[in-house]
Amino acid sequence: MGMVVVISLPFILLCLLLGFGCYFLGRAKGRKEMYTNAQILQLKWIVLRWTRSEKSDVSGAFLRNPSTFRNFISRDANSPFQPEAGRYHLYIPYACPWASRCLAYLKIEGLDKAISFTSVKPIWERTKDTNEHMGWVFPASETEEPGAEPDPLNGAKSIREVYELASTNYSGKYEVPVLWDKKLKTIVSNESGEIIRMFNTEFNEIAENAGLDLYPPHLQAQINKVNEWIYDGINIGVYKCGFAKKQGCYERDIRLFVTLIRFDEGAVHCPYYMKTGTCKYGATCKFDHPPPGEVMATATSQGTSASVGGEGKPNETVKELQQ
């Protein structure tokens, strides 16, 4: 009897992540040769340790940790965090999309002269010699890693140390981005969505492009609605795929895929998903069936069963379509 080997999409995504990581790290270092097996194993070890550290619920589904520093820079006179030029510093890694959007906002709004920033190294390393914790670290010199710089403010060796400077009893995750207050010597926020809102509205007297409003009042409801499903379906969808710890949770593989194809104008979209947000055919969908509303309307008007699904799909009644 032959053996059937099932490779889940999260495993494939993990392999792709490692492959792209090796490629871009090689480019960042100005080298064209492939990474050695030892270096690839180190990357796998880092990802596996990261996977084990992520939280999940009883079903094995990934649970994202909430951001812990949620202060807000405001022009309100009573706010301890005033929008002052030269007061704040942004810590980022170019390898993190959450952090990169903060840097993009900083540049677009013309705040890069008022708010300084530093990038850490693009790959995790041990943050202390006394334990095996892996995280974002600063290079020892400006020439060690292209694009990365030593911490110019606190002389910290890692983002972990920046958190410990802000709170000596901090016990959460050491995440990026980090918006640092030079005056109060603490972290303002590590929530990227709130950081970009601050950059958009609270620094208008300082920003070179103060007239640019990327979150206008008349579009805020629409932006919030779109952001909600992008965040859950794509941003966190990748984590749900990669960090699902039980087979039943791998259904999120399909959710991520059908969400991604909504952004591909050249793709053949699934009409079930486009109208309902789900597809009853799941991974077997061939994108060859009409939208459910049209099927049910046709079947009702004709008083007969409607054929859906194309080749290999059985005829289904209106009642079955509504299940």
239 is catalytic: yes
Q: Closest by alpha carbon to 128, among 161, 89, 90, 106?
A: 161
pLDDT by residue (tens digit) across 70-99?
899 999 999 999 999 999 999 999 999 899
What pLDDT band is residue 181 in, cutting at 50, 70 and 90? very high
pTM across the whole model: 0.65
Give 261-311 as a DSSP string. Answer: GGG-TTS---HHHHHHS--TTGGG--S-S--HHHHHHHHHHHTS-EE-SST
b/e 268-284 (16+ beta carbons within 10 angstroms → b): eebbbbeeeeebbbeee
CA distance 83 to 71: 13
203, part of any domain? yes
73, part of any domain? no
Q: What is the pLDDT of residue 89?
A: 98
Domain stop point among 150, 181, 215: 215
Q: What is the pLDDT of residue 55?
A: 54
Same domain, 234 and 178: no
Considering the candidates 94, 170, 239, 250, report the single residue annotated as catalytic. Answer: 239
Considering the candidates 35, 96, 249, 279, report the single residue annotated as catalytic. Answer: 96
83, part of any domain? no
Asked whether residue 1 carries a pLDDT value surpassing 50, the answer given is no
Asked whether residue 149 carries a pLDDT value surpassing 80, the answer given is yes
96 is catalytic: yes
Q: What is the pLDDT of residue 230?
A: 81
The pair of structure tokens assigned to 273 is: 């998903």
The predicted model gives 15-24 an average pLDDT of 46
> What domain range is 46 assigned to?
9-53
pLDDT by residue (tens digit) across 21-73?
444 444 444 443 444 555 555 555 555 555 455 555 555 554 556 557 889 99
300, part of any domain? yes
Indicate which CATH number applies to the domain containing 117: 3.40.30.10
- Segment holding 46, helix H or strand E: helix 37-53
